[in-house]
Structure 1
């Protein structure tokens, strides 16, 4: 076993380094390396099944990490792309491929299974491929992610529907039997994962995190991933779906970033082993025996998937370059298709020979995708007038005592005040358009992502005194705070909160110096309204100050129960009454003081 792992690691180091040096990405290096050392190549490794079963944990961990990034609120924002474009891609591609296969003489159950399986794309290939080119945050990356997310969600019902294709119709034209037991078991396991993630796993993470035991924390993180995948597998569901749901449930946890940093090294290594196993499992003998058939099948599948995805992306409003990136990133088959075909063979909806041929076509498409995508980036995308991703600036640490994360409308004002006082600062801005506008006015700002630990360190976070977090995105603000707390504990944090809940989340992290985005400007606006209504300036200022002090005090007091919606609603109602009484009491005091001054004046 040690010799086998030595061979695998050596192959990964050599082939992946060569592939990336040639600009073809790491995935192709893994696939070619696996084919080279596998049973169809040099036969240095022959126990492919055991390696594949173990390395599938890489795909499981990838879906768990995806779940950590997909907050329920973000999923709701992406609902049109996920359920609209995603469902359209799977349905249109599946119908098109099934129709072509049926026209070629294949029985309709087999054609349906193959159409559904080949319509899926490989999350494990697409996301790393896009990440290597910094495209995950681009429109093409977000669109591809949305489609892949729908495919992951659709995989379970697709597998559940496979037995129906092998059942004979009854006199009413309906299946003679529906696997209600399996359906019920699957629903029960999903419910168990959801409830366990919400009421059990989070408290355990808090207990372990509070104990400051990194090795136990790592073991718990791995247990969550493997445990949820095992539960899903026992119920006949996708292991990746179980891990994805667990990730989503932990996406709002205060330990989300620490969990992510713990899982990522394991995910990267196991995902590489998975690609190696795919390359080793490819039956290249079939391709050698029938090169014409497999060349035509590969070309037909890639052409069909690319055309359908390109047209749908254009209909969704993507420009040509972005639509082409989406289409070429989704043109391969999926690792989940292997499971779908195996289930179809087991119930007799698909014969083994057809499954073997389809599996080889998928493996070849996985190897072809990085080549096609790299060729498109070099030869086609530049001609479509699309700029390549901008490279972050090299940041020079000049010993500035202040770092400003985000140089938009808030960060710029902070910077101008500091410059007026002669205080040096380092500003990071990751929006290229905003950066270009700022630089036209002579501002010295670095292009960089402040949510990256290495860029913060390069900006001098270890020696700086104050970190100003003025980003627009609430999640990014929390991420920067978590990174700073964990890696730069000596930094004083001054943070922009977008709203009241965001302020609560920052207070959870121990941030004391926070400013709600529109709070003070709204107070000033209220004071002007009172003055324009004829209220004396001093009285208007006193009323606004009274409200400000009361609201800030209530913010601190309600932090203890802000997650309890019922108590929070009651507290807000009580606060409204208290505020009314407070203003009335203050008004009576003002009237009493005025009357006293009047009596004194009359006595004079």
Structure 2
């Protein structure tokens, strides 16, 4: 009987969550509002401090409320794991290495300075110093789960946010162990535990890196040969859960293992397929996490302590925004980038709740104090999407975007995404042949350099909002993607092909494999850099060896056509489940 009741409650909770997803996502998308707010509000409504309070008086409400909030916590944690796994898929070890100065420089400074200032302020207000340190570090953290889906990882704001969030995710384990060491009765055991965890975790991470490079290509090659999307999904979940458990068993955070798993898979040719398969699960699990955040908000407690809570929220947001913005300016970021990133990163994090629990368990803060700051954190998480919008508005006022050059009367033009070295060269060739163009780039420094050199360039993020619509992409002669961001180029190609079926899309590819992926995503032409450089080298060698220029050029053209035909054929061939099953088919 008890088992039947438990199953009934579980099914009821599942119905509430799926119903919330079915209502929140379409409604909020229609009004161009992030579903983050919707999920949190649903959590407030159906949680123990909302309609859940009335279940004893009105039993029928149990069917539309969450009856066991604690049962959702594992699913919420899994949502964070999948989010970090997705971030790893978007990165690569090379890109992560290039970001090391930001991760361990900017990320470390932001956490330490923000945490120290908050701790000093709380100590001045009467909090004992060890508890103030714990609260300062907890509130200095920012939300990976909410910030990165809003900012992305390709824009200047997204790169800055990603670097700080990566460091915070790495630092969470040392922070928790340090709080254990500061506990009144710890007797130094916390430091010993931290050292043991770090060396064991280091060995596990090394083992994952070695085994992953050897085993993952073979594992996913076997899954791909079966043409079964179910097996591909099972292999993906096996990898991410296995890596998360491996780091979790040593005492490190499971999200470290998830990030490493994503980075390893990003180095294989199957990362695009895995990313598309995992996306729906990641979104739903993240929705569960946001619902749990909403369930922790007690509206009556907020009402009773409204002034004090709002003052605390304002203090945390202001201090963190100022510290983050000033650090970015010191490190050379534009005023607009520093302003938008500072405001976006101002809220506390979901991991703040973990650190608060650790500080409370270590007797560094009282349970009532922990509950107060949990409410502050939940409010901060709820308003993060509003802060993101505020940040964009303030950034435009602090440093207005360059004016859009006037349209050339009666001329359709080419739209170039990216105005770096390759984009400027293409613009030069278009100018030589009398073709009008406009270039867009999300790096304000690159745009300024291009404008000073006489190029028609504007600042904007082609992957967000209506930036391309304002450039008239629907009437463009062609659209050219020149950025050296393989994942971003592929996503943009897929999105643009869906929105503009007849638009010629010419994309820069890193190599022949990337070119094939771009063709699958809908590119009209994909030009691999490695192919063109090889052909140019061959041409130079043959001419130096005395072969006449005419036959050399003819053979180079013939070989180029042969390679491009093969790449296009590879792009259309179904060597992964994505192209074999209609449920996950791609255009083009």
Tell me, yes or no, if the aligned pair for 1:404 and 1:469 is still in contact at 8 Å.
no
**Cα distance in 2 between the residues matched to 1:176 and 1:52:** 26
Distance between the aligned counterparts of 1:388 and 1:251, measured in 2? 35
Mapped contact 2:438–2:456 kept (Cα < 8 A): no
Does structure 1 residue 456 correspond to structure 2 residue 470? no
Tell me the alpha carbon deviations over residues 458-487 of structure 1, each in whole angstroms, 9 at most, x when there is no partner: 56589x9xx86435xx38x85452242x46
* 2:344 aligned with 1:321: no
In structure 2, the residue matched to 1:331 is: 346
Partners of 1:404 and 1:168 lie apart in 2 by 63
User: Retained in 2: the 8 A contact 1:166–1:349?
Assistant: yes
| Number of the residue aligned with 1:111 | 132
Provide closer, same or farther for how the CA distance between residues 235 and 145 of structure 1 changes in structure 2, counting only shifts above 3 A.
same
In the alignment, what sits opposite 1:40?
49
Question: What is the DSSP-based 3-state SS (H/G/I as helix, E as strand, rest coil) of the residue aligned with 1:470?
Answer: strand
Q: Describe the shift of the 1:176–1:381 C-alpha distance in structure 2 as closer, same or farther (beyond 3 A).
A: closer
Deviations 1:213-272 (A, max 9, x none): 211011111121222222222222211111001111221111111111111111011111
Would you identify which runs of 4 or more consecutive aligned residues in structure 1 move more than 4 Å?
Answer: 15-24, 167-170, 174-177, 403-407, 409-417, 427-435, 447-450, 457-462, 477-480, 491-494, 538-542
Report what 2:178 is aligned to. Answer: 161
Give the equivalent residue in structure 2 for 1:507.
Answer: none
Q: Rate the CA distance shift 1:541–1:63 in 2: closer, same or farther, 3 A.
A: same
Match of 2:400 in 1: 386
Q: 1:388 to 1:89 in 2, by over 3 A?
A: farther
Distance, in Å, in 2 between the alignment partners of 1:8 and 1:277 is 11
Counterpart in 2 of 1:400? none
Q: Distance in 2 between matches of 1:203 and 1:77?
A: 28
TM (norm. structure 2) is: 0.72
Which residue of the partner structure matches residue 482 of structure 1? 517
**Correspondences of 1:67-216 after superposition (within 5 Å):** 67-131=88-152, 136-166=153-183, 178-179=192-193, 180-216=195-231
Residue 495 in 1 paired to residue 527 in 2?
yes
Residue 218 (structure 1) aligned with residue 233 (structure 2): yes
- What number of residue pairs does the alignment pair up? 490
Question: Residues 518 and 117 (structure 1 numbering): CA distance in 2 closer, same or farther, change over 3 Å?
Answer: farther
Distance 1:428 1:306, change over 3 A: closer
C-alpha separation in 2, matches of 1:231 and 1:142: 28
**Counterpart among 272, 275, 281 of residue 260 in structure 1:** 275
Moved more, 15-24 or 319-328: 15-24
Using the TM superposition, give the Cα deviation of residue 306 of structure 1 relative to its aligned residue in structure 2, in angstroms.
Answer: 1.0
Superimposed CA distance per residue, residues 393-414 of structure 1 (whole angstroms, 9 cap, x where no aligned partner): xxxxxxxxxx999984676799
Output aligned runs, 1:265-344, within 5 Å: 265-344=280-359
For 1:178, what is the secondary structure of its paired residue? Answer: helix
After TM superposition, the structure 1 stretch with the greater mean CA deviation from structure 2, 367-376 or 514-523, is 514-523
Please give the secondary structure, in 1, of the residue aligned with 2:309. Answer: helix
Structure 1 residues 28 and 309: CA distance shift in structure 2, 3 A: same
Contact 2:173–2:253 at 8 Å: present in 1 too?
yes
Shift of 1:374: 2.2
Q: How much does 1:333 deviate?
A: 0.9
The answer to whether the Cα contact below 8 Å between 1:38 and 1:45 also exists between their aligned partners in 2 is yes
Q: Which residue of 1 aligns with 2:259?
A: 244
Q: CA deviation at 1:326?
A: 0.5
| Alpha-carbon contact 2:514-2:528 (below 8 Å) kept | no
Offset at 1:517? 6.7
The DSSP-based 3-state class of the residue aligned with 1:446 is strand
Deviation at 1:364, TM superposition (A): 0.8
Task: Point out the structure with max Rg over C-alpha.
Answer: 1
Provide the TM-score with structure 1 as the length reference. 0.71
In the TM superposition, what is the alpha-carbon distance from 1:443 to its structure 2 partner? 8.6
CA change 1:79–1:416 in 2 (3 A) is same
1:121 aligns to what SS in structure 2?
A: coil
Q: 1:221 to 1:346 in 2, by over 3 A?
A: same
Q: How does 1:505-524 map to 2 (within 5 A)?
A: 514-516=531-533, 519-520=536-537, 523=540
TM-aligned CA distance change 1:130 to 1:111, over 3 Å: same
Contact 1:82 1:150 in 2 (8 A): yes
SS in 2 for 1:332: coil
Offset from partner CA, 1:512-548 (integer Å, 9 cap, x none): xx32278349828x96xx7xxxxxxx84869x97xx9
Q: Distance in 1 between matches of 2:116 and 2:416?
A: 52
- 1:446 corresponds to 2:479: yes
> Hey, what's the Cα distance between the residues in 1 that align with 2:240 and 2:342?
31
For the aligned residue pairs, the C-alpha RMSD in angstroms reads 4.2
After superposition, the Cα gap between the structure-2 partners of 1:208 and 1:374, relative to the gap in structure 1 and judged at 3 Å, is same
CA drift at 1:416: 10
Does structure 1 retain, via aligned residues, the 8 Å contact 2:184–2:363?
no
Change in Cα spacing, 1:409 to 1:176, as seen in structure 2 (3 Å) is closer
Aligned match of 1:580: none
Q: C-alpha distance in 1, partners of 2:125/2:539?
A: 69
Cα distance in 1, alignment partners of residues 160 and 384 from structure 2:
17
